[in-house]
Amino acid sequence: MNEQNVPQPMHSDEISINFSEIWNAIVKYKLSILLVTLIFTALGALFSLTRDSEYEAQVKLLPEVDSKLGGSSSGGLGGLSSLAGLAGINLSGAMAGADAIQPAMYPEIVQSVPFLLELSQSQVYNLRQKKFIKLADYLKQDNSNAPIPIFKKDKSKAGNDLESISVPQGVLSSDLINVSKQETAALKELREAVTVEVDKKNNLIKITANTEDPVVSANLANLVLTQLRKYIIQYRTEKARKELSFLIDRQAEARKRYDQALFTLSNYKDQNRNVFLNVAKDQGKKLQYEVDLAFNVYSNLTNQTTEAKIKLQKETPVFKVLEPAQIPLKRSSPKRTLITAGSLLLGLFTALIGVFFKTANVRDLLA
C-alpha cells in the first residue's frame, strides 16, 4: 500500500475551527447578542446626547516672508532652504534677524496669559442672547446646549472660591499678573477653545476656534487673527516707532529753536536798521549764524524723520488672509452618528466574546 495515501495523524498543537458550531452558538444566543448590542447602542446614543454641540471656525493666513531670506543676500542658504523645505525643515529662522518672530512661535503667543486676557475683553455677538457681550462674560456664563444636560458645568462654584490675592501696592512688580480663580477658569476654557497650527513647510497659519455658539466661534477666530496681527506688527516695528517718535520730538524742538533764532534776528535788524557800527554788524552776523545753524539742524532732522517714516512702513509686516472666518452651519462635535455606530460595534463584539467564552471549552484552549 502506498504510504502517501495513508492519512497523517493530526498534531496535538493544531487548532481546528468548526464554523458550524460557531454559527449554531450565534443562533442559539441570538437574543442575548441582540440585547447586549442594543444596550450598548442605546448607551452610546445617550452619551452622545449629553455632550454639548461645538462649532468650529477657521482662519487661514500667510505671513509676509522677509525678502532677505529668498534673495541673493542669503547666498548659498537660499538653495539650501529650498531643499530643506522639501524635507519639512524650515531654515528661515536661522537666516532671519534676531528681532523677528518666527511663525512657529505664534501658538505660544496666542496661548500666553497676557494675550488671552486682552482677548477676553473683546466683544462677541451671542446668538442666544441676541446682543454683543464681553468674551469674558460669555465664558463665565452657562453655555450648555446638550439635549440631555447631564454633565452640565457648574461655573458658579468658581465665583464662590477665593477671588484674588490682596497685595499692597508697591510690594510686587507691576509686570506680575494677578487674576482670580474665576478668571483663571475662563482663561483655561479660552485656551482650550483656540488653537493655532503652523505648517512648517510653507508657514501657512491656521487659527481654529471651537465654542458652543457658531457666531461666537467665527467672531473668536477673527479676533485672534486681528490681535495676533496687531501683536506681530507692534513687535516688529517697536524699534522703528521709538526712533520715529524720538525724531519727531527733536524735530519739534529744532523748529522752535529755528523760529526763536529767526525772530531774534528779525527783531535785531528792525532795531538796528540805520546803525553802521562794526559791533552791530558783528552781532547781526552772529545772529544770522545761529539762524543758519538752527535751520540746518531742523532740516537734517526733517530728512531723518522722513526716512524713519519710510523705514517704519518697510518694517510693517503684511498678512495675507487666504481663507477668512465663516459662520459654521454644522456642528463639528460630537459626532453622534459615529459614536452610536461605534457603540453598536462594541456591543456586538462584546456579546460575541461572551458567547465564545460561554460555549467554548476554555480549559482545552489553555492546555
Indicate the SS3 state at residue 196: strand
What pLDDT does residue 223 have? Answer: 94
Same domain, residue pair 106 and 93:
yes
In a domain, 3, yes or no: no
Same domain, residue pair 120 and 254:
no
Same domain, residue pair 186 and 255:
no
Same domain, residue pair 94 and 198:
yes
The predicted model gives 3-8 an average pLDDT of 48
Same domain, residue pair 76 and 211:
yes
Direct distance between the N- and C-terminal alpha carbons of the chain, in angstroms, rounded to an integer: 37
Q: CATH number, domain at 214? A: 3.30.1890
Flag whether pLDDT at 210 surpasses 80: yes
Q: Which residue has the higher pLDDT, 165 or 317?
A: 317
In tens, the pLDDT along 233-256 reads 998 899 999 999 999 999 999 999
State the DSSP H helix or E strand holding residue 291, giving kind and residue range, or none if neither. helix 278-315
Same domain, residue pair 205 and 289:
no
In a domain, 32, yes or no: yes
Same domain, residue pair 288 and 194:
no
Range of the domain at 36: 19-51+334-359
Same domain, residue pair 147 and 202:
yes
Q: Which pTM was predicted?
A: 0.71
State the DSSP H helix or E strand holding residue 32, giving kind and residue range, or none if neither. helix 30-49
Q: Which residues pair with 209 in a beta bridge?
A: 57, 194
Same domain, residue pair 157 and 204:
yes
Residues 6+ apart with CB under 8 A from 102: 92, 93, 96
In tens, the pLDDT along 265-275 reads 888 887 776 66
Flag whether pLDDT at 365 surpasses 60: no
What pLDDT does residue 205 have? Answer: 92
In a domain, 241, yes or no: no
In a domain, 2, yes or no: no
Length of the chain: 367
Overall domain count for the chain: 3
Flag whether pLDDT at 278 surpasses 90: no
Q: Indicate the DSSP class of residue 323.
A: E
Worst-scoring range by mean pLDDT, 138-147, 165-174, 202-211? 165-174
In a domain, 9, yes or no: no
Worst-scoring range by mean pLDDT, 5-14, 206-215, 280-289, 309-318? 5-14
In a domain, 277, yes or no: yes
Joined grid coordinates for residue 86: 522639501
Same domain, residue pair 116 and 35:
no
In a domain, 156, yes or no: yes
CA 89 to chain centroid:
21
In a domain, 261, yes or no: yes
Q: Indicate the DSSP class of residue 131.
A: E
Same domain, residue pair 255 and 343:
no
Name the most confidently modeled range: 58-72, 80-94, 173-187, 197-211.
197-211
Q: Are 144 and 213 in contact (CB under 8 A)?
A: no
What pLDDT does residue 222 have? Answer: 94
Same domain, residue pair 272 and 354:
no
> Nearest CA to 65 among 291, 262, 317?
317
The percent of residues above 90 in pLDDT, for the chain, comes to 39
State the DSSP H helix or E strand holding residue 352, giving kind and residue range, or none if neither. helix 336-359
Q: Is the dihedral of CA 137, 139, 144, 149 positive or negative?
A: negative
Q: Are 86 and 59 in contact (CB under 8 A)?
A: no
Band (168; pLDDT cuts 50, 70, 90): low
Flag whether pLDDT at 98 surpasses 70: no
